[in-house]
Each structure stands twice: as C-alpha cells, then as structure tokens.
Amino acid sequence: MEHLWAPWRKAYLDESSPPRSTLFAEIAKESRDRENLVLLRGRTSFGLLNRFPYNIGHSMVVPYRSVARLDELTEKELLETLEILRKLLAALEEAFAPHGFNIGLNLGAAAGAGIEGHLHWHLVPRWRDDANFMTTTAQTRVHPSDLATVYEILYKSLHREESAASR
C-alpha cells in the first residue's frame, strides 16, 4: 500500500483562526529567509513559496508594504512584483516543466483573500490532469516533493548567476 504524506497541510487544516494579517510584514522584516521560504528579495517586494501549496512550487509575490488594493501600489512596487513573478515563473518552468500556470490576486475576503490587508500574487504551476480523484473525492492534493527540496531547487535556480559571480 502506498501512503500520501503532506504534513505541512495539516497545520493549515488544524488552524482554527485565519492567518495573522501581519504575517507578510513579519516575514519581510526578518532575515530567516530559508525558514520563511523566501526565494527572492527585491527593493520593494519579495517572492516566497506558499507553506500550504495547492501544487508543487506554488509561490507568492508580496510587496514589503502592507497594502490591500492594487491601486495603492507605487509604480516601482508594481513593476518589481511583476519582475519577481516573471523570475519565479522562469525558475518553475526550468525546474518542474509545468504545462501552464494560474496567476492571480485575491483582493478582499469575499474574493478569497486569506490575508486581505496585504495583497499578494499567487503563482500556481499546473500540469495536464493534475486534478485527479484525490482532489475531487478526498479534498487532498498529492505533492511529489517536500517544501525543503522544492525550496532548494528553486533557490539555486534563482541565484545561479550570483553564485557564479562570487566564485
């Protein structure tokens, strides 16, 4: 018998209260990037893995500033979030060869925003037929790798040029 194991989802499912509205601001200020799954930092924004992914490599791009609405971002913030999104997409394509992506923002609680006071883009890699019976009947996603491994693969891909330059 095979077993499906996704322990990081258990913490999310057991959580009785919504995520802290300050979660992204806290991560932005900290320097524990590996622990917080931060993959890439810019001047105004950062990219990180979603701790409770829908699919392998599910990432997010977040401005450092807590803003709830798209029109509250400065032009620099908007451009940098899109640049980080583009870099994450390229790293995900290289590492996992998905067939497509879902990219989006959930603005406001009614739209599904878990942290509605701090907008963030979701980047979810998709593969043909990735929604199987487990998703529809057991409300469970099957991930072929753990978060630490995915983090290492993407981090190395995103920082390859920096590593080469420092040699």
61, HSE (Cβ side, Cα atoms, 13 Å): 23
147, HSE (Cβ side, Cα atoms, 13 Å): 19
**Residue 81 and residue 61 in contact, taking contact as beta carbons nearer than 8 Å:** yes
Catalytic residue among 58, 99, 118, 120: 120
Contacts of 7 (CB under 8 A, 6+ apart): none
Contacts of 99 (CB under 8 A, 6+ apart): 126, 127, 128
Active site residue 58: no
List the catalytic residues: 120
